[in-house]
Amino acid sequence: MVPGGLQPGGRGVRATMKVRVMHAIVRHMIMNDPRAVANPSDAALKAAFGLPINQEDMVYTLLTFSYVVIEGFRIMGYRMTDRQREGYIHCWNVVGSLMGIREELLPASFAEARQLFDAIQRRQHGQSEAGKKLTAALLAAVQDAMPGDHHDPLIAALARKLVGDETADALGIQRPTLIQQIRLDALLDAWALSARLATELHADQPIRIASEELHHAIMVKMGGMAGAPFEVPEEFV
């Protein structure tokens, strides 16, 4: 999301190509390694599993970076204009195209993005122990990565607010206490107000820089993922 990032040779293009190559490697390993759980010897069962990292899963994941982010801003009290929403969807569609998602699957508008997200979620949404364990691990990782030496229950409270009660219950996210809910609402109100003021005053650059620094610090604290080397051969760019 930097100027020129999606132009030929841009940082965004190179980052997207890295992910596409990693997808191809993982897909090859799952389909060909007999030790892989998702690679059963029975041909009919293998066909039922479908292709690993398939088109539906990829476009659904793409929507978590586009449609879900826009909805997250709305839930947190920040309003985007129609033009901003449509532009954001289009930007991620470019990324999706570079990732190899078929053009007919990419939503042409924010409204189509919502319809597609809801349709896939209806098909695949469900409760599982694996989902609960993964959610608990992710919340713990974010809590551990945040500044300070204590676990703030507001991380889980915010996650519940963003995904909704039905999904949060399926994922085993605890409901916040009344005090925690009041704290969260107050913090979100303050954030939304500061974001609106910064935008109106054209002074959102400090907030953007602070957000990038916080993200980088979290990634480093979670295991040095911010600087993991993975060079893409020039012929793939």
What sign results for the dihedral spanned by CA atoms 80, 78, 214, 20?
Answer: negative
From the list 30, 47, 43, 20, the residue with the least C-alpha distance to 101 is 20
pLDDT of residue 65: 93
Provide the mean pLDDT of the chain.
Answer: 83
What pLDDT, on a 0 to 100 scale, did the predictor assign at position 18? 87
The band of 169, judged by pLDDT with boundaries at 50, 70 and 90, is: very high
Q: Residue 157 — left, alpha, or beta (φ > 0 → left; ψ -120 to 50 → alpha)? A: alpha
The pTM of this model reads: 0.78
Q: What pLDDT does residue 237 have?
A: 54
Is the model more confident about 209 or about 103?
103
Residue indicated by tokens 């009041």: 182
pLDDT of residue 195: 75
pLDDT on residue 95: 94
Q: Write down the pLDDT at residue 111.
A: 96
As a whole-number percent, the residues of the chain with pLDDT over 90 amount to: 39
Predicted pLDDT of residue 147: 65
Closest C-alpha to 1, from 95, 64, 86: 95
- Report pLDDT digits (tens) over 1-39: 677 788 888 888 888 988 899 899 888 888 887 777 666
Q: Is the pLDDT of residue 231 over 70?
A: no
In whole angstroms, what is the distance from residue 205 CA to residue 193 CA? 16
Residues near 211 by Cβ (< 8 Å), separated by ≥ 6?
A: none
Predicted confidence at residue 120, as pLDDT, reads 94
pLDDT at 15: 86
Q: What percent of the chain has pLDDT over 70?
A: 80
pLDDT for position 160: 93
Burial environment of residue 139 by CB neighbours within 10 A (0 to 12, 13 to 18, 19 or more): buried
Contact 214, 145 (CB under 8 A): no
